[in-house]
């Protein structure tokens, strides 16, 4: 923008005759009086223009600011032809016409993009979800609630996680004589100049690849006043348990670079890595049932427990502890073969330790021989179960059994929550609760149930059963709290795991104190090469 003291100066800047500019000013002033001109202009602000006035002048470049026309859309943002909607096509923003009529208020375009954009996104997602799951199989899945190929589902999940966080980059260098080809000679030359990564080499002598401390830990171990191996066996519960523990620990990578890489994982990386490694380690032993101690050993050596730890531990143990013999025979092989993966769905948004107060309901329908599951209130939403957010295909569900309006207490049910495409089944809403301060390989999630149907036989029935006549029967006289034993065992195991984590921390600190030197042993010696004192040997 530029200031001119008069119209004459402006005419000089524009390189036009003053008379011509003055005539234009007069025409504009006259049009302002009548309210129209030959170009169809309707509004004339500051219409009195005089050649002797001063002016601030800027050059305006015409641009297309907003398009009022576009395709016709329905209230659900579905693109329409002359008579009906076009399935699967949605539109929002300037591509859609008729939203504002023939004109719009300034600022409305942004509101249109946001409002109709959100509607279009939601409707597109809903359309895609229905397209995937409405293939004629859904009613059968709802009634039978059977399991399908879990390995396929895990593969689908793993691939989707990989696609989110993996970006393959190709550097294409266009060099003289190599137009459009990959592998520029200059780039190859530069690669050769990049030094290789240094690999640490334990030694007693300081060097670029060693701190010269490899002798220190053996020397400290020799100072022990007790038989070290006997102490190891004592802490492990015997020599055989030590062998078993060493075997379990042997399947975990010992490569420092690999371990360091894991600490820099994104959350998607954590879950994908965990699922892959868990299957690699456990699938060869699919007929092996681990003990509580062995599960503890596995927890001790893993960086994070991960999602499938829930499936092979607390989910599996609930079926083994609460299921009938026939139920165990049916479900156990499928879990061990990774045909299905499970979560332990007990905790609710409003209830944790007070299990008797759980609000999830399982109402028996005698006519249809099934249970109808609901989380009827906000506080009854299943909240925080591990493996639920992304990985699990099934859950063991803790719910209040209702029969003919009477309460039968908390009972346990098996519920399939995802189909063969790893999508939630009808009436089930699932979500991941996101990143945590702790184990991000464990997809803690939430679940909302709305009139979900499962067969009568999906109630775990080691102690209680609803029989074929629709009667509630106590098969074994047992305390009502028997259903809580899985969680009680899990919490007891947490104490063991916490102790292991504490021992690992202490081991790291002690070993570091043995090899880290700080401060000169002889304060009178002025050389920087003087002997230093180990941290563990300092007296103050």
| Residue-averaged pLDDT of the chain | 83
pLDDT of residue 425: 96
Confidence check: pLDDT of 147 > 60: no
Do 439 and 304 contact (CB within 8 A), yes or no?
A: yes
pLDDT of residue 148: 46
Local confidence band at 475 (pLDDT 50, 70, 90 cut-offs): very high
pLDDT of residue 447: 98
Cα–Cα dist 535/540, whole Å = 10
Tens digits of residue pLDDT in 66-117:
777 788 999 899 999 888 899 889 999 888 887 777 676 766 777 788 888 9
Averaged pLDDT, 351-372? 94
pLDDT of residue 153: 57
Do 530 and 522 contact (CB within 8 A), yes or no?
A: yes
Do 274 and 282 contact (CB within 8 A), yes or no?
A: no
Tens digits of residue pLDDT in 499-526:
888 988 999 999 999 999 888 888 788 8
Task: Name the DSSP letter for residue 365.
Answer: E
Task: List all residues 6 or more positions away from 53 whose beta carbon is below 8 Å from its beta carbon.
Answer: 6, 7
Tens digits of residue pLDDT in 220-269:
999 999 999 999 999 888 999 899 888 888 877 777 777 777 778 888 88
Averaged pLDDT, 130-157? 51
Tens digits of residue pLDDT in 57-66:
988 877 766 7
pTM tops 0.85, yes or no: no
Local confidence band at 167 (pLDDT 50, 70, 90 cut-offs): very low
pLDDT of residue 9: 92
Do 161 and 268 contact (CB within 8 A), yes or no?
A: yes
pLDDT of residue 131: 64
Tens digits of residue pLDDT in 277-309:
888 777 777 666 667 677 677 767 776 668 788
Tell me the two tokens of residue 138.
């859904």
- What are the chain's domains? 2-57 (no CATH), 78-133 (no CATH), 145-165+266-540 (2.40.110.10)
Tens digits of residue pLDDT in 414-462:
999 999 999 999 999 999 998 887 788 889 999 999 999 999 999 999 9
Task: List all residues 6 or more positions away from 190 whose beta carbon is below 8 Å from its beta carbon.
Answer: none
């Amino acid at each position: 923008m530029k200031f001119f003291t008069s119209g004459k100066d402006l005419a000089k800047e524009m390189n036009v005759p003053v008379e011509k500019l003055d005539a234009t000013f007069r025409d504009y002033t006259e049009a302002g009086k009548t309210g129209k001109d030959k170009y169809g202009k309707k509004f004339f602000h500051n219409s009195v223009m005089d050649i002797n006035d001063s002016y601030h002048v800027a050059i305006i470049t015409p641009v297309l600011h907003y398009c009022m026309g576009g395709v016709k859309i329905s209230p659900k943002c579905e693109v329409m032809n002359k008579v009906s909607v076009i399935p699967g096509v949605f539109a929002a923003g300037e591509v859609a016409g008729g939203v504002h009529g023939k004109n719009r208020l300034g600022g409305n375009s942004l509101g249109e993009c946001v409002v109709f954009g959100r509607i279009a996104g939601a409707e597109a997602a809903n359309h895609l979800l229905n397209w995937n799951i409405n293939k004629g199989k859904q009613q059968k899945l709802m009634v039978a609630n059977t399991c399908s190929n879990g390995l396929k589902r895990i593969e689908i999940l793993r691939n989707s996680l990989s696609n989110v966080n993996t970006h393959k980059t190709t550097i294409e260098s266009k060099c003289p004589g190599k137009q459009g080809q990959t592998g520029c000679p200059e780039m190859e030359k530069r690669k050769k100049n990049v030094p290789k990564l240094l690999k640490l080499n334990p030694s007693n002598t300081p060097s670029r690849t060693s701190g010269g401390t490899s002798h220190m830990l053996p020397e400290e171990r020799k100072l022990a006043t007790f038989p070290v191996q006997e102490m190891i066996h004592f802490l492990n519960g015997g020599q055989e348990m030590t062998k078993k523990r060493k075997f379990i620990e042997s399947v975990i990578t010992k490569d420092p670079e690999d371990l360091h890489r894991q600490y820099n994982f994104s959350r998607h990386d954590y879950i994908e890595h965990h699922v892959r490694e868990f299957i690699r380690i456990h699938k060869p032993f699919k007929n092996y049932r681990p003990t509580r101690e062995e599960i503890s050993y596995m927890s001790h050596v893993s960086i994070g427990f991960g999602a499938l730890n829930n499936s092979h531990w607390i989910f599996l143990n609930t079926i083994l502890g609460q299921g009938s013999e026939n139920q165990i025979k049916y479900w156990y092989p499928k879990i061990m073969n990774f045909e299905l993966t499970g979560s332990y769905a007990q905790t609710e948004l409003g209830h944790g330790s007070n299990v008797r107060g759980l609000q999830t309901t399982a109402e028996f329908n005698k006519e249809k021989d099934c249970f109808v599951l609901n989380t009827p209130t906000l506080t009854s939403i299943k909240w925080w179960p591990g493996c639920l957010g992304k990985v699990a295909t099934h859950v063991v569900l803790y719910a209040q059994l209702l029969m003919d309006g009477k309460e039968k207490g908390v009972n346990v049910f098996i519920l399939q929550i995802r189909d063969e495409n790893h999508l939630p089944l009808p009436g089930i809403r699932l979500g991941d609760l996101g990143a945590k301060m702790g184990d991000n390989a464990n997809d803690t999630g939430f679940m909302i149930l709305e009139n979900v149907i499962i067969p009568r036989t999906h109630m775990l029935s080691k102690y209680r059963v609803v029989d074929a006549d629709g009667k509630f029967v106590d098969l074994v006289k047992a305390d009502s709290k028997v259903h809580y034993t899985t969680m009680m065992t899990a919490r007891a195991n947490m104490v063991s795991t916490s102790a292991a984590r504490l021992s690992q921390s202490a081991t790291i600190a002690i070993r570091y104190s043995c090899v880290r030197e700080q401060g000169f042993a002889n304060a009178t010696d002025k050389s920087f090469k003087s002997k230093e004192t180990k941290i563990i040997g300092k007296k103050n």
